[in-house]
Amino acid sequence: MDALKGLARRATQTFREKVSNADSTSDGGLIDTTKKVRQFEKTAVTLSDKVLRVAKLIEELGSLVRDIGEEYKQMPDLFPETQQLADDTLAFGTTLVQKAQEHQAPLKDHAFDLLGNFIKDIQKMRDIEEDRKKKQLEYDFFRQKVLELRKSPPKDFTRIPRNEQILETWRTELWKSTEANKAIVSMLFSQGQRAIDQSVLTVGQVLNSFLNIAASGAKHTYGNARLPLYPVAPLLTPAPLPPNPLPPFQYPNTTGQPPAPVNYAPSGDYNSPNPPHSQQWQQPQPPQQHQQQPAWGQQQQPPQQNWGQQQQPQQPQHQQQQQPPSWNPQPQNQAPQQPAAWATPQQQPQHQQQQNSDPHQTQQQWPQSAPQSQSNRPEQPPQPAPQQEQQYQHATAPAEQQQAPKPSE
């Protein structure tokens, strides 16, 4: 219960000091000395790390020289002078490692340990400061309470003497804690100065001794060392170009002959490489100078339409190209020659074979403005045309159609 009451009193006094700026008991000299000791602590922590690095550095220096000697000694074809240099370097590195281990002892005893002990004793000062702070808050709390009771005396006249007695008790405790704090701060101040000064001096002495040993050893090892005379002539003599181990290449017997023709795929294959220009779906364009002229005395008539029959829809382009061309550059007294794409009936479509096999049916049909598509339409029997229309057709038909045999009535 007393501990809880004390915690409440200290919290109340802390709140008063922060909010209402209440008076607090302080010692100026103790505060200044404590700040200096804390600065010594920071310096000691930094120097402790540096001393440890110095101890590692001198040992690493000897290890580096020793490793250089070991690697140099493994190099092949060493001259006598360089072999002696490798042995001296290895011995010098080994000596430096031994001397570094010897110089690490004073660094540990007179530098690293002193700084470490000083840093550990700082914790004692923190504990004493914390105890003094608690007693100071208790003393300030009761001092403020006594002052308030004296300003307005209570009806209970025993409260003021009782609080004054408690105040005197805390004043005594605060004095004891302050004296203990002063003692530890004074001791740490001297210890910190001595540890820092001694560590810096020890590092300097160790480096001086080690570097003197390293310098004297390096002077003895490399002072009179000489490099050999290296030969100027190349180690590997140049050689002429050797003969070619491979015989000259002999071309096969087909050298000089024209390349074999490329066997293209059939005309209907779209995946064939480089297909020829003339395919069944491409209609050759007739030249302008070989167009058939109308017969003498005959006038070119416009194409007639069969008004008695239903006009067929226009065929697609690929079916139009399959029809034979309407021009014939050959003489009239010679039978027309069919193109190579449809020279045989087996290569022609079925409806074209029927037209070529029945010339009478072809002659009786009226000329259309566009070729008809019969691939998807059933065959119809031919219808006889009137006599006048047949005569008109015979008068305007091409010469090769006039030479065809007349249908028998």
- How does residue 144 score in pLDDT terms, banded at 50, 70 and 90? confident
Nearest to 193 by CA among 31, 54, 37: 37
The structure tokens listed for 78 are 């060493």
Residues 6+ apart with CB under 8 A from 151: none
The structure tokens listed for 16 are 């008063």
Mean pLDDT of 20-28: 61
More confident residue, 284 or 84: 84
DSSP secondary structure of 191-237: HHHHHHHHHHHHHHHHHHHHHHHHHHHHHHHHSS--PPPPP-S-SS-
Domain spans of the chain, in order of start: 34-222
The structure tokens listed for 356 are 């070529």
List residues bridging with 372 in a β-sheet.
314
Q: Residues for the chain: how many in total?
A: 409
pLDDT score at 373: 43
From residue 98, alpha-carbon distances to 93, 126, 209 in Å are 9, 42, 13
pLDDT score at 69: 94
Q: Which residues of 79-103 are buried (b: 16+ CB within 10 A; e: fewer)?
A: eeebeebbebbbebbbbbbebbeeb
pLDDT score at 219: 93
For residue range 90-108, list pLDDT tens digits in order: 999 999 999 999 999 999 9
- Phi first, then psi: what are they for 322, rounded to 5°? -75, -20
Whether the per-residue pLDDT at 358 is higher than 90: the answer is no
pLDDT score at 19: 65
**Superfamily name and number for 34-222:** Arfaptin homology (AH) domain/BAR domain (1.20.1270.60)
Whether the per-residue pLDDT at 193 is higher than 80: the answer is yes
**Residue 380: in which H helix or E strand, if any?**
none
3-state secondary structure of 314: strand
Query: What is the rounded CA–CA span in Å between residue 99 and residue 95?
Result: 6
pLDDT score at 9: 72
Mean pLDDT of 44-67: 95
For residue range 301-333, list pLDDT tens digits in order: 544 555 545 545 555 555 444 454 444 444 444
pLDDT score at 333: 47
Whether the per-residue pLDDT at 231 is higher than 60: the answer is yes
- How does residue 396 score in pLDDT terms, banded at 50, 70 and 90? very low
Whether the per-residue pLDDT at 21 is higher than 70: the answer is no
Per the listing, tokens 């090892």 go with: 221
pLDDT score at 5: 65
Cα dihedral across residues 80, 86, 91, 95: positive or negative: positive
Mean pLDDT of 54-60: 95
For residue range 243-268, list pLDDT tens digits in order: 888 888 887 776 556 666 656 555 54
pLDDT score at 59: 94
